[in-house]
Amino acid sequence: MNPQTGRLALLAGLLGNAAGHAFLFVVLPPIGRRMGFADLQTGALLSLGALVLIVSAPIWGIVAEKRGRRFVLLAGFAGVAIALTLFAAVIGLRLDGRIAVGAAFAVLLAVRVLQSITSGGLFPAAQAYMADTTSADRRAGGMGRMAASFGLGSVIGTGLIWLFAGFSLPLGLAAIAAFVAAAGLICWRTLPESLPAIEAAAPVAGRIEFGRIWPFLIVTVLGVTTYALLQATTGLRLQDTLGLSPEAAAGRAGATLTAASLAMVISQGFLVGWLRWSPHRLISVGAAVALVSMLAMAFLPGYLALLAALCGVGLGLGLLLPGNLAALSLATGIRAQGKVAGINAVGQGLGMVLGPIVGAALLQHSPLAPSLGGAAMIAGVCLMAAIVTMTMNKQQAMETR
């Protein structure tokens, strides 16, 4: 096995998984209308998979502690590749009028469940693998690289929407599926298992202290909900405010969210390592930047203002999310990284469930309402950051007495 090649393939597989999610989240709302789905049906379709992920992720986290990170990662990549291929086939058939609306919706629900069951362990296993292979002082940078692969995947996924919007959106999904399959195959050949070294260093089973990690879990839910809300509603906001067709709205949303995701990638992959801030400072500053940007998105008119504000949200979340992952990892024992990553994935799944549903509900009142809802959630992140800071200051004061 070549460890370096395996790690690169791991990051590539995570990138492909994120690209597939971004593609689906942006494409399905406007294309769902074209296929005959109601907006709430499409929101339910996107959210159902996240509900299944909530159940499967902690189970996969336990499996990652028993069977190893590599096993869980390979199963996840296989599931993603198969599900995206089926999504492409069903969407293509429905757009061609070869299957009925009800049949298409039922099959896509089943495929979404399959995708979530098999891929629910990707994030827990990857997070645990990164914790296994990075020291405490480099944890934020390691989590930043992992998060950057997800962010870059969102850039590529939304970019592929722009590329395939005028040609064939199902073909774009098929291309992502092939990429994930190739990355999984390379991981199978080259990625080493990290668990044996951890077992040798810490043979005693790890415990999770929920009193130390609950604020970071709330930050995960709020941050992911906000991002999922933007992914699910940007295309519909553009369609409603600019009078675009479903295909044009999907293409414009893809280009817009590509810019926001690129800002997030730069923040995660470069700024986090360059600034070398503590995880808690990354959370606080990132939340402040995202909050200001969400408010600007709600109150400043015009497409250019929306584009700039979305880039600001990406920049802020790019600091916030890696800092939160690093803080969560450092608050957990070395033998419980897979378990806590599985629990954190539950928070991510919950955010993915809430984002489309909350966004669709708010969109019924106003095209700008989702931005205000996102701002309220980021304000909650600021509150959690303040609670963590006060708790740390009290602990430090007690230790110095």
Put simply, whether the predicted model's pTM sits higher than 0.85 gets the answer: no
Is 90 exceeded by the pLDDT of residue 186? yes
| pLDDT classification of 395: cutoffs 50, 70, 90 | low
Tens of pLDDT, residue by residue over 355-365, are 888 888 888 88
Whether the Cβ atoms of residue 338 and residue 124 lie closer than 8 Å to each other = yes
Distance CA 81, CA 362 (A): 33
Tens of pLDDT, residue by residue over 200-257, are 555 445 677 777 888 889 999 999 999 888 888 888 877 777 777 776 777 778 788 8
Tens of pLDDT, residue by residue over 256-300, are 887 888 898 899 888 887 888 888 889 989 999 999 999 998 888
Tens of pLDDT, residue by residue over 14-30, are 999 989 988 887 888 88
Write down all domains in the chain, each with its CATH number in brackets. Answer: 3-393 (1.20.1250.20)
DSSP 243-259: ---HHHHHHHHHHHHHH
Q: Mean pLDDT, the chain, as a whole number?
A: 84
Within 8 A by CB and 6+ apart from 327, the residues are 216, 279, 280, 283, 388
Helices (H) and strands (E) counted in the chain, each on its own, are 15, 0
